[in-house]
Amino acid sequence: MRTSLPTLKAEAEALAAAAPRLSPRAGEASAAHPGAAGRRRAGTGEDFWQYRNYNAEDGSTRIDWRRSARGDRLFVRETELETARSFLFWIDPSPGFHWRSSPTTSTKADRAAILFMAFASQLARAGERCGALGGPRNPVNGQRAPMRMAEDLWGLEGASAFPKPNKDPATVLIASDFYTPLEDWRSRLTELAGRNRYGALLAIADPAEAEYPFEGRVRFSLPGAKTSRLIGRAENIRSDYLERFNQRRQDLSDIAAELGWRLITHKTNDAPSPVLAQLNALVLEAAN
């Protein structure tokens, strides 16, 4: 049974409130202060762009009197154009991603939803648009954006097909355990990256998956399926399992690097705040 979104939203809001506020200035020195991207041309915004000569179409209210007082010409102070960007999110709906090894930890999907809603909350406050990749509604900004995005993703069924690439360029964030065939992921992500320059893969693992603590007689089963396998001495395959687990992470990292994206790894028994900081760094990267 999936955790209710209002419960996850409360955790996401607490996480976002404890993080540094995103700044609307691109090129901020700290990765914790990105936001709406300044476009290096005149337009509506807050950051100073340039002075130019006054003309009759401007109107007297646009004259910068302090600058104009230095000479015999009138000047208008222009600000830099700022436009909202779109961020599209996707959370793996498969049964395995809604699994956890212990009731004391979050499911992988729950943790992804908390992180994405916290991140979307920060983005929306900075004026950016957020939505679900392949979702039925367009990305929006404002207070409703995080919950709308999560509702669209939480409504996906386990057998839902991976969404088709978006039409308009965006920054894309994909959360999964990435256990399905690697070549399938390479194909999906290559198609997405062809449309979207910036993106991140959030690979989330349960601690049991990442650490393999099993010993003795253990029956392993596939979530959502009747498939199972009994291992008489589970500890005998530990080294082989961990080697394959770590190799999958390396392969994902290689794919992300090839696409110009980034890979972020996380375990559900670790604190979520470092992941949020890495997501914030992605915003700064896209803004420059």
Dig out the tokens for 116 from the structure: 């994405």
Instruction: Give the count of beta carbons closer than 10 Å to the beta carbon of residue 24.
Output: 20
Nearest Cα residue to 37 out of 47, 17, 29: 47
Summarize pLDDT for 155-184 with one digit per residue, the tens.
Answer: 998 888 999 999 999 999 999 999 999 999
Domain ranges of the chain: 5-29+84-287, 38-82
Q: What is the pLDDT of residue 41?
A: 43
Q: What is the pLDDT of residue 76?
A: 78
C-alpha distances in angstroms, 29 versus 33, 143, 208, 285, 288? 8, 27, 38, 11, 11
Q: What is the pLDDT of residue 84?
A: 73
Q: What is the pLDDT of residue 287?
A: 62
Residue 60: Cβ-neighbour burial (10 angstroms; 0-12, 13-18, 19+): exposed
Bridge-based pairing of strands 37-42 and 218-221 is unpaired
Determine the longest span between alpha carbons in the chain, in angstroms.
91
The three-state (H, E, C) secondary structure of 167-219, written as one string: CCCCEEEEEECCCCCHHHHHHHHHHHHCCCCCEEEEEEECHHHHHCCCCCCEE
Look over the chain and give the mean of its residue pLDDT values, rounded to a whole number.
Answer: 87
Q: Which CATH architecture has domain 5-29+84-287?
A: 3-Layer(aba) Sandwich (3.40)
Dig out the tokens for 59 from the structure: 């109107």
Q: What is the pLDDT of residue 37?
A: 47
Q: What is the pLDDT of residue 81?
A: 43
**Contact at 8 Å (CB) between 232 and 175?**
no
Q: What is the pLDDT of residue 146?
A: 96
Instruction: Give the count of beta carbons closer than 10 Å to the beta carbon of residue 217.
Output: 10
Residues facing 262 on adjacent strands: 200
Q: What is the pLDDT of residue 40?
A: 44
pLDDT by 10s per residue, the chain, length 288? 689 999 999 999 999 999 987 764 443 333 333 334 444 444 444 445 567 787 766 667 778 888 888 888 888 776 544 467 899 999 999 999 999 999 999 999 999 999 999 999 999 888 899 999 999 999 998 899 999 999 999 999 888 899 999 999 999 999 999 999 999 999 999 999 999 999 999 999 999 999 999 999 999 998 888 889 999 999 999 999 999 999 999 999 999 999 999 999 999 999 999 999 999 988 777 666
Q: What is the pLDDT of residue 79?
A: 57
